[in-house]
Structures are given as C-alpha cells and as structure tokens.
C-alpha cells in the first residue's frame, strides 16, 4: 500500500479520502460473499468501493451498487468504479442506507458494518462514523436488508467475534437467519478474531468452516491464498 492506493490484479483502489482504508476484512468479505444467480449486488457502507469492485470481478453479469453516507468516500468510490473494467455496471448512491428506496431488490447484500459498539470513539469524526454503530446499527442494517433482499438472496457481513451473538439476534428479529459461518483466525492457536456470516430468509442448518490466514511460521496459509488468489498481486 503506497501513495494512498492499493493495487489489485484487475483494479486499483484509491482510499486517501476514505476514513476506512483497504484492509483484510474487506478483502475477505469480497472474496467470500456469495449467492445463487447474482444479478444485482448492494454494498452497504461501501467506503472506497473495494468490496463492490471485487464482486463485480467475481460476478461478470451483475449490476453492483454501493451506498455510502460520507460524501468524500462516496466520491472516491465512484472514481474507483469509473476507472475499473466494470464501470458500465457499477454506481454509487450517496446517502443514508435507511432512507434508500431502489426500484428493484438485490440478490446479494454485503456490508463490513460499523461494529465498535462499546469501544471508545475515534477522535477523527469520519473514522468514528465509519466504525461505530451510532451511524448504522445491526438492527437497522438487517431490517433494511430484509426489505431490499430478493427471494432466495443472501446478506453477508464480516464481524468481530465478540459481536456475532448480538448481530445474529438482530438479524433473526428481522427474519434473517445464518446459513454459513466462517471463523477467521490469524493462525492456529490464536483466538478467534473475525467471523463472516451469510444470512437468508429461511431457517436452515448453519454450516461452519474455519479459515487461517497464516501458518505457524508466519507464511500465508494455503486456504487464504486460495480464497484471495484472483485479487492480490503478491501473496
């Protein structure tokens, strides 16, 4: 990462005007989130546009919409999309997700949501808005996602491990139920840090898998390499 941008195999993400920079969480979600017959994708709180760009690469027929409340981040996401190979089927909506009323539903809704519910707020206002549930809490995220989800669609998020129970409860109150859970560990023996969850509208057995980012010697794990192989230049 240098000069305010991150270079991937097929696109570049500039993030110098975004509160939240390109990071492992976003890359993991963009590489993992999935649904059947994806025609329309919505990235909630899209930031720099990273996750939407990854999904545009993975789903070559899909229309991808990012929604972002921070004007500077929204403008930068739009610029990143405009300079990508998929500009004709990507766009950014600048505004509040809770006030979003599109004409069509979405087959896949993704979000790397604000989650530091109990943490001290950042002194930087934009970063605080991007990372705290004061801006968009789990209840409102899942309520609106259920409203915008197409039949058979999926809502996929990445969360810190300590927030999973709270988020699952909020999702279930809004008729969204987990069907796939991926537990993300830095390496064997380390505590669980992140969890990726996929939600649908029917109650099904939830498949659980583990992902390790690194081997004991500090090299990248094969499963992490495989998941992100189509995106990172050097891994």
234 within a domain of the structure (yes/no): no
pLDDT digits (tens, 9 = 90+) for 171-188: 999 999 999 999 999 999
Q: Mean pLDDT across the stretch 97-116?
A: 89
155 within a domain of the structure (yes/no): yes
221 within a domain of the structure (yes/no): yes
| pLDDT at residue 19, rounded to an integer | 86
233 within a domain of the structure (yes/no): no
Instruction: Select the more confidently predicted residue: 147 or 234.
Output: 147
What DSSP line would sit under the chain, residue for residue?
Answer: -BTTEEEBSS-EEE-TT-SSPP-HHHHHHHHH---SS--EEEEET-TTSHHHHHHHHH-TT-EEEEEESSHHHHHHHHHHHHTSTTGGGEEEEES-GGG---SS-EEEEEE-----TTSPPPSSHHHHHHHSTTTS-HHHHHHHHHHHEEEEEEEEEEEEGGGHHHHHHHHHHTT-EEEEEEEEESSTTSPP-EEEEEEESS--PPEEEEEESB-TTSSBPHHHHHHHTTTBS--
| pLDDT above 80 (res 74) | yes
| pLDDT above 60 (res 115) | no
| pLDDT at residue 103, rounded to an integer | 96
The total domain count for the chain is: 1
Instruction: Select the more confidently predicted residue: 123 or 50.
Output: 50
108 within a domain of the structure (yes/no): yes
What is the pLDDT confidence band of residue 233, given thresholds at 50, 70 and 90? confident
pLDDT digits (tens, 9 = 90+) for 85-99: 999 999 999 999 999
109 within a domain of the structure (yes/no): yes
| pLDDT at residue 114, rounded to an integer | 63
How many percent of the chain have pLDDT more than 90? 86
Domain that residue 169 falls in: 5-228
Instruction: Select the more confidently predicted residue: 115 or 15.
Output: 15
| pLDDT above 50 (res 116) | no
Instruction: Select the more confidently predicted residue: 203 or 115.
Output: 203
pTM for the model stands at 0.91
Range scoring the smallest mean pLDDT among 78-87, 108-117, 158-167, 177-186: 108-117
CATH code: domain of residue 122: 3.40.50.150
What is the pLDDT confidence band of residue 196, given thresholds at 50, 70 and 90? very high
Mean pLDDT over all residues of the chain? 91
């Amino acid at each position: 990462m240098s000069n305010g941008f991150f270079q991937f195999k097929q696109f570049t993400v500039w993030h110098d005007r975004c509160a939240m920079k390109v990071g492992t969480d976003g890359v993991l979600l963009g590489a993992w989130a999935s649904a059947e017959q994806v025609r329309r994708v919505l990235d909630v709180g899209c930031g720099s546009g990273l996750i939407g760009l990854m999904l545009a690469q993975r789903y070559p027929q899909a229309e991808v919409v990012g929604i972002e409340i921070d004007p500077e981040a929204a403008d930068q996401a739009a610029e990143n999309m405009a300079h990508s190979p998929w500009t004709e089927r990507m766009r950014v909506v600048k505004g509040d997700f809770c006030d979003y009323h599109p004409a069509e539903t979405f087959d896949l809704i993704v979000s790397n949501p604000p989650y530091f519910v109990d943490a001290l707020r950042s002194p930087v206002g934009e970063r605080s808005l991007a990372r705290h549930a004061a801006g968009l809490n789990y209840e409102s995220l899942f309520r609106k996602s259920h409203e915008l989800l197409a039949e058979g669609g999926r809502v996929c998020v990445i969360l810190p491990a300590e927030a999973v129970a709270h988020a699952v409860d909020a999702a279930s109150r809004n008729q969204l139920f987990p069907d796939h859970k991926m537990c993300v560990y830095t390496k064997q023996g380390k505590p669980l840090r992140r969890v990726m969850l996929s939600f649908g509208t029917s109650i099904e057995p939830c498949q659980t898998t583990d992902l390790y980012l690194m081997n004991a010697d500090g090299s990248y794990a094969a499963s992490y390499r495989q998941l992100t192989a189509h995106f990172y230049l050097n891994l």
